[in-house]
Amino acid sequence: MSYRPFRNIGRYMLAACAVSFGVASISAQSTLPNAPSPSRVDIFTGYSYYGLSSEDQTTGENFGSVNEGAMGSGAYYFNKWIGGEFNMTANPNGQGDGFYGYYLGPIFRWPLQNYTLFAHGLVGAVHGVGPNNPGGVGYNPYTWGTGLMAGGGMDYDLPFFHHHLGLRLFEADYRYTHIDFGPANPAIYLQGGRANLNGAELSSGLLFHLGSLTPPPPVQYACSVTAPTGTIYPGDPVTVTGTATNLRVKKATNYKWTSSGGTVSGTSNVAAVDTKGLAPGTYTVKGHVEQSPKAGQFADCSTQFTVTQFQPPTISCSANPTTVNAGDPVSITAVGASPQSRPLTYSYSATAGTISGNTSTATLSTTGAAPGSTITITCNVVDDQGQTASAQTTVNLNAPPPPAPVVTKNLCTITFDRDLRRPTRVDNEAKACLDDIALTEQQNSGAKLAIVGNSAPVKVRGRSTERKRMLAQKETLHRAELRAVNEKDYLVKEKGLDASSIAVYTGTDGSNSDQTILIPTGANLDTTGLTPVDETEVKPIPRKPLGVRRHHHHKKAASTTSTTSSSN
């Protein structure tokens, strides 16, 4: 007996295992969305190749492979993993031989995300015909024998027809067949003998999934109450709506309703409850939906509604306009409502002024009310049952305009351009201005004065040096300070003003002048660009009364002026 059949079978099985492991590794990375649960029944039909290379142990005749064939099988699964299978194979068109096999046995599967691996071991009967001899003069007729089939394969779940269609990528099986053709009879060209055949069968085709191991989800039922006004009063209509899920398609559905109060009617998923005559309280409505008395095909729901006693009226109140001058009239509008549409009576009151009216409108007179105050108006309503409600609104009376803000005032300006030899002296020409300044300050009780001394830049004589420029800058500042201090000294000593009410500054005007600013009580001086004068360092030049010339003092003063500066 030749061992070549076993080598061929080993090659077939090795190739099938390699493909199985390769596709399994791919399937571990694949995801099929919305994949169903494992099927209850799988039906397979497809092409089959029977690889056979064995010989009749009696006659020595060889059986060859059958390229044309078909396979069909049906598997019923008891759970996700294990089932029973019936398999039929047909390989009738070999070179002088052919086989029909019928097998039965267990099948095992391993569902992945969108692939399923399976293995089975089957036993059964084989109806086979022996090969013709090389001369074509001998044959064996179709004879029944026994067979074994063992192997496995891989299925791919297609997303068509709600996942009821699949593809069997491959099925690889080892087949052992034993047929006893009986004794040879040359008279009728029978070869006879026993055939013990080893072969490999490879198949592929379509797979149909039927049923499911996971039962459909049970019917669920929820119900809710709706009322036209939200709040339910005796006599108001109440509607109950049921919402069922997971109902079986094309299966009759029955609804029933009951209520702990009132009369309920309805044979669909919507029912109506008559609340006429119900006392205030909470009531329960129950619903039942049923497609079958079997578990999971019926469900119940319950919901509640509350009947409320008649409610008191409500009211809103508004004023137009809401801001007026004292003495102006205001229109008051009240909007009352009764949940049960009962008759209403209106009344009004106000914290100031007078108000008149007994309907939904009234008039407020603000005569005699204090300007700047707020008047509160109360609107009242009562129904025929004595139930009341009230609301308020306000009216603002305009306040008098605020006083004008207190600001500083610029008074007259003294110039120092006439006496070039004594550029900081307050001369007779300034008398009129100084008298006006003193009078204005005295007429404004509590007012203060600010004197801002300015100076034009002192020119540098001769060749300009850094030292001369610095001395000229100091002289310019000193002249501005002296002018302010000298004016203050005159106003204090000659006009009797309080020294503490006069502040002296230097400015950046660039002119030879004193600016005097009146600061009334409550006003603030803007000191931007002003520098306070240190009166402990800068003293006023001793004066003689205005109108008396002070040549000696001026000469002395001029002698103290820097030689680097010219009079301005």
Mean pLDDT (whole number) for 297-326:
92
Residues 300 and 330 in one domain: no
Amino acid, single-letter form, for residue 183:
P
Number of domains in the chain: 4
Looking up residue 21, the CATH number of its domain turns out to be 2.40.160.20
Q: Which position has the higher pLDDT, 5 or 152?
A: 152
Domain end marker among 250, 273, 307: 307
Residues 416 and 496 in one domain: yes
Laid out side by side, the sheet with 374-383 consists of 323-324, 388-397, 374-383, 344-350
Q: Which of 170, 140, 144 is nearest to 49 (CA)?
A: 170
Mean pLDDT (whole number) for 400-410:
87
Residues 43 and 187 in one domain: yes
Domain membership of residue 371 as a residue range = 314-397
Give 4's DSSP letter: H
Residues 111 and 150 in one domain: yes
pLDDT at residue number 379: 96
Residues 85 and 193 in one domain: yes
Looking up residue 386, the CATH number of its domain turns out to be 2.60.40.10
Domain end marker among 377, 397, 417: 397
Whether 274 is covered by a domain: the verdict is: yes
Dihedral (Cα; 259, 263, 269, 270), 10-degree rounding: -130
Distance CA 550, CA 421 (A): 12
Residues 87 and 144 in one domain: yes
Whether 215 is covered by a domain: the verdict is: no
The pLDDT of residue 28 is above 80? no
Mean pLDDT (whole number) for 544-550:
50
The pLDDT of residue 36 is above 90? no
pLDDT in tens, 357-392: 999 999 999 998 999 899 999 999 999 878 899 999
Distance CA 65, CA 15 (A): 18
Residues 45 and 123 in one domain: yes
pLDDT at residue number 53: 64
Q: Which position has the higher pLDDT, 90 or 4?
A: 90
Whether 567 is covered by a domain: the verdict is: no
Mean pLDDT (whole number) for 181-193:
77
Whether 255 is covered by a domain: the verdict is: yes
Buried b (16+ CB within 10 A) or exposed e, 378-410: bbbbbbeeebebebebebebeeeeeeeeeebee
* Banded pLDDT at 132 (limits 50, 70, 90): low
Laid out side by side, the sheet with 220-226 consists of 220-226, 237-245, 270-274, 263-265
Mean pLDDT (whole number) for 39-67:
78
Whether 175 is covered by a domain: the verdict is: yes
pLDDT at residue number 464: 79
The pLDDT of residue 298 is above 80? yes
Residues 352 and 415 in one domain: no
pLDDT at residue number 60: 60
* Banded pLDDT at 561 (limits 50, 70, 90): very low
pLDDT at residue number 557: 36
Residues 122 and 230 in one domain: no
pLDDT at residue number 18: 43
Dihedral (Cα; 67, 72, 77, 80), 10-degree rounding: 40
The pLDDT of residue 4 is above 80? no
Q: Could you tell me what percentage of the chain is helix, strand and coil, using 3-state DSSP and rounding each to the nearest 5?
A: 15, 45, 40
Whether 372 is covered by a domain: the verdict is: yes
Whether 566 is covered by a domain: the verdict is: no
Residues 360 and 453 in one domain: no
Residues 122 and 65 in one domain: yes
Domain end marker among 272, 307, 342: 307
The pLDDT of residue 32 is above 60? no
pLDDT at residue number 67: 86
The percent of residues in the chain predicted with pLDDT above 90, rounded, is 47
Mean pLDDT (whole number) for 447-468:
87
Mean pLDDT (whole number) for 415-429:
84
The pLDDT of residue 213 is above 90? no
Whether 276 is covered by a domain: the verdict is: yes
The reported pTM is 0.41
The least confident of 188-202, 281-295, 296-310 is 188-202
Query: Average model confidence (pLDDT) for the chain?
Result: 84
Residues 321 and 238 in one domain: no
